[in-house]
Structure 1
Amino acid sequence: MDLPFVVATLTRRGLLTPGRPIRIASQLGALRRWGWSLAGELRQAAARDPGRTAVVDESGAELTYRDLLDRAERLAKSLRGVLGVQAGDRIGLLCRNHPGMIEAMVATTLLGADAVLVNSGLSAAQLATVAEEQALEVLVHDAEFADRLPGLPAELHRVDEARQEELVAGAQPGDLRPPPRDGRTIVLTSGTTGAPKGARRPTPHGFGPLVSIIDRIPLHVRHTVLIAAPLFHTWGYAALQVCFALRATIVLHRRFDPAATLDALAAQRCDAMFAVPVMVQRLLEVPPPSRRPPLKVVAVSGSALPGGLATRFMDAYGDVLYNLYGSTEVSWASIAGPADLRRAPTTAGRPPYGTRLRILDEEGRPVLDGRVGRIFVGNEMLFEGYTSGAGRESRDGLLDTGDLGRLDADGLLFVDGRADDMIVSGGENVFPSEVEDLIARLPQVREAAVIGVPDPEYGQRLAAFLALHPGETLDPEAVREYVRHYLARFSVPRDVVFVKYLPRNATGKVLSRELRRYYG
């Protein structure tokens, strides 16, 4: 670790400012005893800023850091004393963004149990599969998901919001000690192409991961941050970790609504927002606020930025957009700041501190700048493998992201899409994302998706699915002619299908398998 760089970054972001000696000692003691898990991060925040508002929900109800820690500890004691949860057990969390979700995540960590973050978009059958494959002992869930529970094992403890309140209120007195093992956070992959897999996330071992993010994304101590990205998603979970470390005030809404989000950003005077790209796109579709929210940072991740979105958003809200490219398996790979996005709106940016990135060919050899290859990434937060025992290909300590991309002469990364999304049409390699990005720039198009479908003559062909803005029309041949003007003939979509909306999962990713149903 480059100690001078770490110290300089922490100082710039306000983490090394003077404070009451007894609180600083308590803060450092919490990290020494509990480590850099959610439990340790919450404890250090409560030690340094106990009376600061930790979380605000959509009703305006607030919890201080002291209160949030107290409730998480009470829940942990009851989970252990009443439900018998021990270190190493697995607790599933099927919740939207609200304080109870955070309490359950921290309580699980306090016990050294593994938190399995369950995607709220899973069907009842998928949930039953997850419960069995992940060997869940307890499922903490919002009441609205009760209809998905009948297929779960009878012995699985179910804890809805009312039961969670009972467990918090009925906790027995006594102290909690650091568990014999660190609990792991298991994030379920998005499942856009099949059943979700459980990816074991490591616990940070120091300031390195935090510094990697806040060096490039200017978040500061005691910022007010709206986390719109789902907390069960890697990006939402990362946002929570960063907020705890910065002793930020976290604003949460159970569901994303663009108008309500704009109101909250203004009312809470939010300095920052964590979101997925489709949320940023939706903010541009509602009437702009009379006064621009005081945002300094809008950090997005989870999927590619559609063509022109970065520029349009910054024109409306200022040069505050930061795009992090990463995955559940590699955490982060690169970050693009406003200057990068002004220059190249679809870039994924550059690797941050402590991150290595290489573009390799099929034999593992580096490719020349501008050539497309497989993206490999190395940093200290690579995942520990899937819970099934499977892993990902690794070369010289770098992990395969599963994406294809290229570096330009200035070192900016461009992601061309998933390796398994590339199609071969008439002997030519075609990247659907390039066509999708181009079509998304048409002013009539609200959102677009391009996929490969079987073709008896060419093997595969492109099909474009377009959702238009209300009142707009487009002719399919006009779309094809537009693409033909900018790209090679084999990139022109043979099929142009107009839909009301694109099917997406709970994290905003387009479900390609749903689109392929148009072709049987």
Structure 2
Amino acid sequence: MSALRFPDRTALIDERGALSYAELEQRAAALATALRTRLADTRGNSRVGVLCRNHRGFVETLLAASRLGNDVVLLNTDFSATQLGQVVQREGIELLVHDEEFDQTVDASKFTGTRLIAWAESTDNRKNTDNRENTENTGPETIDILIAQTDPEPAKPDRTSNVIVMTSGTTGTPKGARHDLSVSSLLPAALSHLMRVPVRSGAPIVIAPPLFHMLGFAYTTVGLGMGMPLVLSRRFDARRTLETIADCKAETLVAVPVMLQRILDVEDAPRTPSLRVVVCGGSALHPHLSDAFMDAFGDVLINVYGATETGWATIATPQDLRDAPGTVGKPSFRLTIKILGEDGRELPPGETGEIYTGGGLRFAGYTGGGGKRVRDGLTGTGDLGHFDEAGRLFIDGRADDMIVSGGENVFPGEVENLLGGHPDVAEVSVTGVDDERFGQRLAAHVVRNEGATVTEDDLKAYVKERLARYKVPRDIRFVRELPRTSTGKIKTRALGR
């Protein structure tokens, strides 16, 4: 454990300063002792929900609940009150740790369990007693007060804690993904990571995606396990992120693609000579973005592909991205990936089918019931893709996003990649729209670059020159911005028709 190996090394840096590994361990142990008296079941069967932004309180709660053997449910900070209420009820959350800014959302969710505040702008209005005794005019306790008032006691849990990560929820109420985890299942992913992602023990790592997201959570565990200082900020700001990298001499940045674009857009950006690795994931990394980013920051970019359900599946090195822009790389060590057709037959390189994975993390179904399709021991991802002759994987889109127009199959990603490379286009999303004649037609929602005057006809002609006629969007709508989730995925339903 890093607290034993590197007690004096910095473990975490956030807006309130730095904590050493010894301090983080002490705070997590004290919080675990305090939580134990506030959980109905002291044998680890009560679930703890975390509704926090990126800061020490998130990490401390995760570590504290894990010490007790309690399952931890990571909740999306973008949840509406209705979504939150549905999820906490379905997941059986009895204790909810949340930031003060979500007070009203939690109130409206009708959550009736115990509440604790992880991040409060001021502790003056917080009562220092058990929240079950709170009156109408007092709010929940803060975990800072609990930690300060509690002496740590040894914990001997009867069970191993599980972490439940929500799916993105772009098409409905998010589901909790369960995994059967073991050292043998985690080892291949860890070895692949160390062989292809040159992170270094003791070197600061800036984690920009939300920690409740699989990418942010995964690199939190990597950082803590390797004794790396975690550099966290409650909200992403591109310029501030670059300044933080420069100030902390951070060697690694973890980000989603839209964050990389925002960083590229920073004028007179601070220099970041310490930056050696930029890990990107969470949504599609378009070729024009990967090329532009590496041209600006050097060949430091790594693209990882996986899902909440399947964990890491592939890793693309900077060389992969240079040689085959758009690839998500080659399979992780000892992890099987096959492209299967609708009849279950394995498809050769160049042919598109559903991506199935096996090995590594074993998806054990959703907490609310249900699971993924399994064929010959391999789990379907729901993504469509293909391999090239060199064994590199490419993602063509979601199986349920494929557009059938006039009897032809069109994958939105191909059209998005092309339009995204147009010099006047900042962002684009392509979807299918019902059409009486063709069944479906393509619609593109485009954000122009500042000052650009490109027209609908210009973009249609651009696509027609480079792709088949049936891949030309019939509708092109210019918008100011694309609606996104907190993890950078586009909310296609919010685009309208």
Please indicate the TM-score interval, normalised by the length of the shorter structure: over 0.9
- Is 1:348–1:413's contact at 8 Å kept on the other side of the alignment? yes
Paired residues for 1:101-120 under 5 Å = 101-120=58-77
Instruction: For residues 76-127 of structure 1, give each alpha carbon's deviation from its aligned partner in whole angstroms, at most 9, with x where no partner exists.
Output: 1111123445312111101000011100011111111111100111111101
- Is 1:270–1:293's contact at 8 Å kept on the other side of the alignment? no
CA RMSD of aligned residues (A): 1.3
TM-score between the two structures when normalised by the length of structure 1: 0.89
- Is 1:405–1:415's contact at 8 Å kept on the other side of the alignment? yes
Instruction: For residues 201-255 of structure 1, give each alpha carbon's deviation from its aligned partner in whole angstroms, at most 9, with x where no partner exists.
Output: 4444154432221211111211210011110000001001110121001100110
- Is 1:134–1:387's contact at 8 Å kept on the other side of the alignment? yes
Which residue of structure 1 aligns with residue 126 of structure 2?
none
- Counterpart of 2:85, as a letter, is A
- Counterpart of 1:168, as a letter, is I
* Cα displacement (A) at 1:389: 2.1
- Counterpart of 1:80, as a letter, is R
Paired residues for 1:358-369 under 5 Å = 358-369=338-349
Which residue of structure 2 aligns with residue 71 of structure 1?
27
1:409 aligns with 2:409: no
User: Quick one: distance in 2 between partners of 1:82 and 1:54?
Assistant: 27
User: Quick one: distance in 1 between partners of 2:404 and 2:270?
Assistant: 49
| Match among 27, 50, 58 for residue 93 of structure 1 | 50
1:477 aligns with 2:434: no
Instruction: For residues 472-519 of structure 1, give each alpha carbon's deviation from its aligned partner in whole angstroms, at most 9, with x where no partner exists.
Output: 12110110010011111110000000011000001000001101x2x2
Q: 1:345 to 1:173 in 2, by over 3 A?
A: closer
Q: 1:85 to 1:301 in 2, by over 3 A?
A: farther
- Counterpart of 2:31, as a letter, is L
- Is 2:208–2:255's contact at 8 Å kept on the other side of the alignment? yes
User: Quick one: distance in 2 between partners of 1:241 and 1:408?
Assistant: 32
| Match among 435, 440, 449 for residue 429 of structure 2 | 449
User: Quick one: distance in 2 between partners of 1:135 and 1:311?
Assistant: 45
Which residue of structure 1 aligns with residue 128 of structure 2?
none
Which residue of structure 1 aligns with residue 154 of structure 2?
175
User: Quick one: distance in 1 between partners of 2:363 and 2:236?
Assistant: 28
* Cα displacement (A) at 1:154: 5.2
User: Quick one: distance in 2 between partners of 1:97 and 1:129?
Assistant: 23
* Cα displacement (A) at 1:173: 4.5
Which residue of structure 2 aligns with residue 165 of structure 1?
144
| Match among 89, 113, 125 for residue 156 of structure 1 | 113
- Counterpart of 1:140, as a letter, is V
- Is 1:187–1:201's contact at 8 Å kept on the other side of the alignment? no
- Counterpart of 1:181, as a letter, is R
SS in 2 for 1:349: strand
User: Quick one: distance in 2 between partners of 1:208 and 1:488?
Assistant: 41
% identical aligned pairs: 45
- Is 1:330–1:379's contact at 8 Å kept on the other side of the alignment? no
Which residue of structure 2 aligns with residue 295 of structure 1?
275
Which residue of structure 2 aligns with residue 58 of structure 1?
15
Structure 2, unpaired ranges of 5+: 124-141
Instruction: For residues 387-427 of structure 1, give each alpha carbon's deviation from its aligned partner in whole angstroms, at most 9, with x where no partner exists.
Output: 01211111222110101111111111111000000011000
TM-score between the two structures when normalised by the length of structure 2: 0.93
SS in 1 for 2:279: strand
* Cα displacement (A) at 1:176: 1.6
SS in 2 for 1:385: strand
Number of equivalences = 472
User: Quick one: distance in 2 between partners of 1:203 and 1:51?
Assistant: 30
Paired residues for 1:157-306 under 5 Å = 157-161=114-118, 162=123, 163-177=142-156, 179-205=157-183, 207-306=187-286
Q: 1:290 to 1:148 in 2, by over 3 A?
A: closer
| Match among 105, 130, 144 for residue 101 of structure 2 | 144
- Counterpart of 2:276, as a letter, is K
* Cα displacement (A) at 1:155: 3.0
Which residue of structure 1 aligns with residue 298 of structure 2?
318
Instruction: For residues 130-185 of structure 1, give each alpha carbon's deviation from its aligned partner in whole angstroms, at most 9, with x where no partner exists.
Output: 111111101110111112012334531111135211221222442122x1111111
* Cα displacement (A) at 1:380: 2.2
SS in 2 for 1:358: strand
User: Quick one: distance in 1 between partners of 2:37 and 2:479?
Assistant: 52
Instruction: For residues 52-85 of structure 1, give each alpha carbon's deviation from its aligned partner in whole angstroms, at most 9, with x where no partner exists.
Output: 00000135x0000011011111111111123445
User: Quick one: distance in 2 between partners of 1:326 and 1:290?
Assistant: 32
User: Quick one: distance in 1 between partners of 2:444 and 2:112?
Assistant: 47
| Match among 481, 489, 492 for residue 501 of structure 1 | 481
Q: 1:408 to 1:180 in 2, by over 3 A?
A: same
- Is 1:276–1:508's contact at 8 Å kept on the other side of the alignment? yes
Q: 1:154 to 1:367 in 2, by over 3 A?
A: closer
- Counterpart of 1:263, as a letter, is E
Q: 1:291 to 1:153 in 2, by over 3 A?
A: closer
SS in 2 for 1:97: coil
